[in-house]
Chain A
């Protein structure tokens, strides 16, 4: 009996493998980590949502080059920026085809109307589609697009003008973000006429490399390569997301060849992945930073040399070894090294408890009692905040500083930090658009000083950031951000801890897959051998 079952099972598994190998279609299977909330990336803003919608199905005016945060032309072939940095004029690409499905067959190519539809829907509350499908445009709000925009005008079918209320250089990166994906206005009109507006968000039509075929919740998403894709048909005929929530199970599937690529491996499995002859373990520093912020509005943390001393008192390498277990790299700047304008010339504070003690004595700080706030959640930039806090606590004890570790529920944690109740607190950030402004201005600019961990407003630093916002010349901006990082390091409002390293195990037969610093999974150039 058992023999028969075993034989039957073997026969089935063999037939499956054989079918995969012999099938004429090239099928790429991605063991994704969860179900998307929906297929409109302006409404559903988790990484899982973007992987299932923005990347395969849609395009944006500008795009990130896969593997980098460099902004390259997308649906906009080219653009010009006015001298005052407030008017962006985009020349749109011609001959870009839309997908089709059982609800819709396009009668025209992509044009300016689609741009207007996609942005006005998120921006204007009186747009007929604004409150369709729940109408929560989180990213549009988070990126402050509403206050930034003055008007969006169609100059002709292939020219669109965005006018801003003030110069905002990172704007061009914002347009490459997933939430700014371009949807079909013609499809929207047709569904509005049919009285089924939500279909636009559930049965997506885009211009992207893969056409949506079907979705079974918690089970599978199917895409077909789009033969008329404007960059050329993708090399993969079929793209399948096999939704697999458990990381250990994902790894088993990858080993067995049931999928080709998996995201978010367990750190405990990394060793085995590295040794597996069928798997390439790709890795890259994530676009994030974990830090300990000093509340600069409270004594003695308003004193620069106290902040420097406490930074020198922490053994960063021990944290990397114990908390990150190799999946992190030491951070010295507020931005990660994969980001342009990263100032590599800056020297980090050395681990030097003796000097730290001297500095504290010189500042007249004795028997300092303080707190260290530890986040209650796990994040890529801080896999175990409690443990990190304990290590810092022990290091500080050696220079005579007594620190009490405090932790609150996540919502309350941020609420209390916003209110400035902490003295030192652990937190971090994951970038949205690959622009240094999205780290430095958001986290350390004077505009954020009232609500952020360091509550730090330095005029020199802020001046560089504001100047960098005003010019769209990247070389000039790079110089300004490099200078800002020098000020940051001298002033030490944060003890910069680490940038996490992201790992992607990929089967050997997969070619041209690159880890994306923003965390997206992009398959348009991927091939199988």
Chain B
């Protein structure tokens, strides 16, 4: 097991360097630079431009900037934002809990609904239920997040007034930040109604962000289950006279879960992508929105630092998924070590 984990970590090293190169290069490939973005239509003499670039450390040759960047990363220094002049890591840590909180609830929604309906569709294969669920999940999967979010806001918040329009909590509550996870912080603060308000604000963003993963998980669970249900051991289990609950819930599901967990692991990336749009629509103070803003203002340091941090998190999640595989299916552990 230990060797297996070490092996996986070793694989992450080249990926890490690949990510630094991509995050460093991409933002610089975009036209413009942070100084031009700050200047707007103001006339900027080449001298003043050069002076400002030098102040930001952007006058050095690209290879040197890259080496500095990697060297600092290896020392835990993610750089300083051009716009706010604050350390990238501080900005990231301030906003990241909001993204996680939303990501986790969205994923919970996707799993809690997606897995059972996937199983249900597989068991009822070919029936009206199966086709209905698969049809709906195709719609969910194809839905543009931006449109879906605005539609829900206009219906639920605008017309019916059931949910708040945006934000993370009502401005009536000024909850002190302890963990950054508002659902926890509101409970800790003991302020009456704060937790309910935070929950209330989560409903729409969770639905919007969870829709695509939900659709994918439902579809993948269905196909994984269908595959497993045709296996011999399931037939044997049935022949033994086990109850359908034991057949599907115990024998089939455990094997189908491998695929499902893979999909959940892969969805972390999708969630990050979805978070960018969801956070923008719902004014959710997370890192998705922050990265977008940093790209627009050509805040090189925020973009390259932020992307590396996100990549590190996705890598960590994938590592955990790999380890989980091993736990669920020991055969994988043996073949790779």
A positions within 8 Å CB-CB of B: 6, 8-10, 12-13, 15-16, 19-20, 27, 29, 34-35, 37-38, 43-45, 133-136, 138, 141-142, 198, 214, 216-220, 222, 240, 242-246, 248-249, 252-253, 255-256, 258, 379, 409-412, 414, 418, 427-430, 442, 448, 451-452
Is B83 positioned at the interface, with any CB of A under 8 Å from its CB? Answer: yes
Q: Within 8 Å CB of B38, what residues of A?
A: 45, 138
Residues in B1-56 with C-beta less than 8 Å from chain A: 31-33, 36, 38-45, 48, 52, 55
Sample (18) of A-B pairs whose CB atoms are under 8 Å apart: A8-B196, A9-B203, A12-B200, A16-B172, A35-B293, A38-B85, A198-B85, A216-B177, A217-B94, A218-B285, A218-B286, A218-B290, A243-B285, A245-B280, A246-B166, A252-B153, A411-B33, A448-B43
Please give me the residue from chain A that is nearest to B38 by CB atom.
Answer: A138
Residues in B184-237 with C-beta less than 8 Å from chain A: 193, 196-197, 200, 203
Q: How far is the CB of A255 from chain B (nearest CB, A)?
A: 6
Is B72 positioned at the interface, with any CB of A under 8 Å from its CB? Answer: no
Is B150 positioned at the interface, with any CB of A under 8 Å from its CB? Answer: yes
CA distance A428 to B282 in the complex (A): 33
B281 touches which one: A44, A219, A242, A249 (CB < 8 A)?
A249
Q: How far is the CB of A135 from chain B (nearest CB, A)?
A: 7
* A37 near B83: Cβ-Cβ < 8 Å: yes
CA distance A12 to B197 in the complex (A): 7
Q: How far is the CB of A282 from chain B (nearest CB, A)?
A: 22
Q: How far is the CB of B128 from chain A (nearest CB, A)?
A: 23
* A253 near B165: Cβ-Cβ < 8 Å: yes
A256 touches which one: B36, B165, B203, B289 (CB < 8 A)?
B165
* A412 near B31: Cβ-Cβ < 8 Å: yes
Counting residue pairs across A and B whose Cβ atoms lie within 8 Å, the total is 134
CA distance A410 to B196 in the complex (A): 47
A37-B84, A452-B43 are contacts. A410–B162 as well, Cβ < 8 Å? no
CA distance A136 to B51 in the complex (A): 11
* B282 near A249: Cβ-Cβ < 8 Å: yes
Please give me the residue from chain A that is nearest to B42 by CB atom.
Answer: A142
B positions within 8 Å CB-CB of A: 31-33, 36, 38-45, 48, 52, 55, 80, 83-85, 91, 94-95, 150, 153-154, 157-158, 161-168, 170-172, 174, 177, 193, 196-197, 200, 203, 280-286, 289-290, 293
Q: How far is the CB of A428 from chain B (nearest CB, A)?
A: 7
Q: Within 8 Å CB of A240, what residues of B?
A: 171
CA distance A412 to B166 in the complex (A): 38
CA distance A29 to B172 in the complex (A): 11
Q: How far is the CB of B275 from chain A (nearest CB, A)?
A: 13
Q: Within 8 Å CB of B150, what residues of A?
A: 248-249
A13 touches which one: B44, B164, B283 (CB < 8 A)?
B164
CA distance A70 to B162 in the complex (A): 46
CA distance A219 to B286 in the complex (A): 9
Q: How far is the CB of B57 from chain A (nearest CB, A)?
A: 11
* A246 near B32: Cβ-Cβ < 8 Å: no
Q: How far is the CB of B319 from chain A (nearest CB, A)?
A: 29
Q: Within 8 Å CB of B200, what residues of A?
A: 9, 12-13
Q: How far is the CB of B188 from chain A (nearest CB, A)?
A: 16
CA distance A70 to B193 in the complex (A): 47
A6-B162, A142-B42, A218-B283 are contacts. A12–B196 as well, Cβ < 8 Å? yes
A136-B55, A218-B95, A252-B153 are contacts. A34–B293 as well, Cβ < 8 Å? yes
CA distance A141 to B43 in the complex (A): 11
The 5 closest A-B pairs by CB, nearest first: A409-B31, A218-B285, A134-B85, A219-B285, A411-B36
CA distance A29 to B167 in the complex (A): 13
* A242 near B171: Cβ-Cβ < 8 Å: yes
CA distance A216 to B165 in the complex (A): 18
CA distance A34 to B83 in the complex (A): 13
* A410 near B167: Cβ-Cβ < 8 Å: no
CA distance A45 to B35 in the complex (A): 12
* A379 near B41: Cβ-Cβ < 8 Å: yes
* A16 near B162: Cβ-Cβ < 8 Å: no
Q: How far is the CB of A283 from chain B (nearest CB, A)?
A: 23
A134-B85, A243-B283, A255-B158 are contacts. A414–B31 as well, Cβ < 8 Å? no
Q: Within 8 Å CB of B36, what residues of A?
A: 410-411, 414
Q: Within 8 Å CB of A222, what residues of B?
A: 174
Q: How far is the CB of A464 from chain B (nearest CB, A)?
A: 22
A253 touches which one: B33, B163, B166, B290 (CB < 8 A)?
B166
Most buried by A among B94, B165, B289: B165
Q: How far is the CB of B41 from chain A (nearest CB, A)?
A: 6
* B95 near A217: Cβ-Cβ < 8 Å: yes
A216-B177, A252-B157 are contacts. A136–B52 as well, Cβ < 8 Å? yes
CA distance A248 to B151 in the complex (A): 11
CA distance A240 to B95 in the complex (A): 20
Knowing that A216-B285, A252-B158, A411-B32 are A-B contacts, what are 20 other residue pairs whose CB atoms are under 8 Å apart, sorted by A's residue number?
A: A6-B162, A9-B162, A12-B200, A20-B172, A37-B83, A37-B84, A45-B38, A134-B80, A218-B283, A218-B284, A218-B285, A218-B286, A240-B171, A245-B280, A246-B281, A252-B166, A430-B41, A442-B43, A448-B43, A452-B43
